[in-house]
Copies of this chain bind each other. A is one copy, B any other.
Amino acid sequence: MTDSWPEGNWFIEFGSPDDLAAFRLSNVLAQGRTRFQHYQIIASPILGKALILDGVLQSAARDEVIYHEALVQPVMLTHPLPRQVAVLGGGEGATIREVLRHSGVQEVCMIDLDKELVNLCREFLPEFAAGAWDDPRLRLFYEDGRAWLAGRPDASLDVVILDITDPLEGGPAFFLFTREMFILAQAKLRPGGLLSIQAGSAGQAVRLLPHLYRTLRVVFPQVIPYTAFLPSFNDLYGFVLAGGPELHWPTPERLSRILQDRNIASLKWLLPEFAPALPLLPGYLNTLLTQQGRILTDSNPIHQVESFPINLSPF
């Protein structure tokens, strides 16, 4: 009734039936249903503009830079010369924005199933792409990412980035997280090629990361999981970098040099000095990754909605 009470419109997201987070809405810019998903583009005093798909927060202006640097910069900076890059998913346009900052890139193919959603992001979230939509190096494909990869010549890509929402019961994303998918991706990579993938929560409710880690290890010689804290998500988030056998996480010195070589003035989150922290995991998460998870396959994809139990008893 008075201005100081937190009434009004709120976005509420449940982490489980027993906990929730809520953000005040200052505006709902667009909402509806595309052929593939329910969407909302909202504005909030805390989040800034944000994209919500099927009731789950995807990206918020407040800190999308962290997520997108974390997904893109390790793989791009580890690769000595990424020229051909494929991004599966990434409708907001911020993943390609980060890729296109690298001066050696000749072509980025972005493959997103949902053309209507991409157009909504272009209209309502243009600052997420920061001009990337108009970059002549970008080619857009509106189709299934796995089918697109299958149709691509072998050994034709330097980097593949999977920016796919967590697979939910019954969704098509299931088949983007299997051994067969990763074998296909590997076949399309040139020698020294790398793959990067977002792996969902590494903190509040770990569901996907141990499975992904285990599955990627049966396909790629080197697999490096790493994490980033995402304030908007109230969570530590997991990512995986895969390739090899010559893959090594870059040193601060190497990162500084590459950033300079590629004319990237600076990153907001991934300081060269900070980079060594990323693949170092707390004990409980390390235990989970080395002892849990199974190989996801087309005939037995992920169907776990329960999160892994974490033992944090002090003794």
Residues 75-111 of A at the B interface (beta carbon under 8 Å): 94, 97-98
User: Interface readout for A279-307 with B: 1 if CB under 8 Å, 0 if not?
Assistant: 01111101000000000000000000100
Q: How many copies does the complex hold?
A: 4
Given contacts A269-B283, A280-B273, A314-B130, contact A14 B5 (CB under 8 A): yes
> Which residues from B are CB-within-8-Å of A142?
none
Residues 1-44 of A at the B interface (beta carbon under 8 Å): 1-2, 4-25, 27-28, 31, 40, 42, 44
Count of chain A residues with a beta carbon within 8 Å of a chain B beta carbon: 78
Given contacts A8-B12, A12-B6, A21-B19, contact A266 B283 (CB under 8 A): yes
Interface residue A270 (Cβ < 8 Å from any Cβ of B): yes
Q: Which of A60-68, A145-153, A154-162, A210-218 contacts B (4 or more CB under 8 A)?
A: A60-68
B66 touches A282 (CB 8 A): yes
B55 touches A1 (CB 8 A): yes
A3 to chain B, nearest CB (A): 8
Residues of A within 8 A of B (CB): 1-2, 4-25, 27-28, 31, 40, 42, 44-46, 55-56, 62-63, 65-66, 68, 94, 97-98, 130, 168-169, 203-204, 227-229, 231, 234-236, 265-271, 273-274, 276-278, 280-284, 286, 305, 311-315
Known: A7-B55, A97-B314. 16 other contacts (CB 8 A): A5-B55, A6-B14, A9-B42, A10-B10, A18-B46, A19-B22, A22-B22, A203-B231, A204-B231, A204-B234, A266-B283, A271-B281, A274-B280, A274-B281, A276-B276, A276-B280
